[in-house]
Amino acid sequence: QQQVKQSPQSLIVQKGGIPIINCAYENTAFDYFPWYQQFPGKGPALLIAIRPDVSEKKEGRFTISFNKSAKQFSLHIMDSQPGDSATYFCAASTGNQFYFGTGTSLTVIP
Amino acid sequence: DSGVTQTPKHLITATGQRVTLRCSPRSGDLSVYWYQQSLDQGLQFLIQYYNGEERAKGNILERFSAQQFPDLHSELNLSSLELGDSALYFCASSVASGYEQYFGPGTRLTVT
């Protein structure tokens, strides 16, 4: 059973667009929700993370929106650039176990 | 560069064999996590160690085992290898449980 459901599987946007990646979870015990960026041949790199006591967090061009009641969270990438083309994973954690979404392959067209 | 190192980078072996993957966490990090990433299964959490003790188990097969040594480096042992074990294996480390994880570059295992 997939603990974290991520969509879409792939996404293509024009440079400057705002891609949005969504994740949903069921386990209310999750208390940490990070997003990772992975380039081909590399390990995932922590991008931004949020705890359930806030509804939004921004770091540079990356924003997490968190809806605790709906058990959903999403990643927005402002003014997307070709260099943002990568696979993005959401995750949820209880503090010990981490559960990752299935990933979204983002392509930003120049 | 995350500060997490993994060796070897690539490993090619035959079915039925046993291999050991090694991970050195970032300086100061006490927790080590192991993940398997395959095309059809995504990123699967295998096991976590904290300061030498097993802390959490995920989808780790009985043929796989891990340990964390007093110097905090960790090894993942994979035995009786099958073709389906071919994957990228990542190690990640964090200061403590529930904190940000930093991933190593991975070991690509190919079982032939």
Q: What is the arithmetic mean of pLDDT over B45-68?
A: 94
**How much is the pLDDT for B50?**
94
Backbone angles phi, psi at A45, to 5 degrees: -120, 130
**How much is the pLDDT for A15?**
97
**How much is the pLDDT for B1?**
83
**How much is the pLDDT for A97?**
77
Helices and strands (DSSP H and E) totals, chain B:
0, 11
Nearest-by-CA chain B residue for A43: B105
Task: Select from B56, B102, B106 the Cβ nearest to the Cβ of A96.
Answer: B56
**How much is the pLDDT for B71?**
96
Residues of chain A neighbouring B35 (CB-CB closer than 8 A)? 100
Burial class (CB in 10 A: 0-12, 13-18, 19+), B14: exposed
Tell me whether residues A42 and B105 touch, CB distance under 8 A.
yes
Task: Select from B48, B97, B105 the Cβ nearest to the Cβ of A43.
Answer: B105
Say yes or no to pLDDT of A75 above 80: yes
**Of A43-52, A92-101, B59-68, which range is least confident?**
A92-101
DSSP one-letter string for B19-31 = EEEEEEPPTT--E
Average pLDDT of chain B to the nearest whole number: 93
Q: Rounded to whole angstroms, how far apart are CA atoms A89 and B61?
A: 23
Q: What pLDDT band is residue A98 in, cutting at 50, 70 and 90? A: confident
- The nearest CA of chain B is from the CA of A91 a distance in Å of 10
**Of A79-93, B4-18, B90-104, which range is least confident?**
B90-104
**How much is the pLDDT for A77?**
98
Say yes or no to pLDDT of B39 above 90: no
Q: What is the arithmetic mean of pLDDT over A96-108?
A: 90
**How much is the pLDDT for A84?**
97
**How much is the pLDDT for B99?**
74
Say yes or no to pLDDT of B41 above 90: no
- The nearest CA of chain B is from the CA of A103 a distance in Å of 7
> What Å distances lie between residue A106 and A53, A101, B2, CA to CA?
28, 14, 22
**Of A29-33, B36-40, B100-104, B108-112, which range is least confident?**
B36-40
Q: Rounded to whole angstroms, how far apart are CA atoms A48 and B92?
A: 16
Residues of chain A neighbouring B100 (CB-CB closer than 8 A)? 34, 46, 49
Tell me whether residues B106 and A101 touch, CB distance under 8 A.
no
Dihedral sign, Cα of residue B90, residue B95, residue B97, residue B98: negative
**How much is the pLDDT for B38?**
87
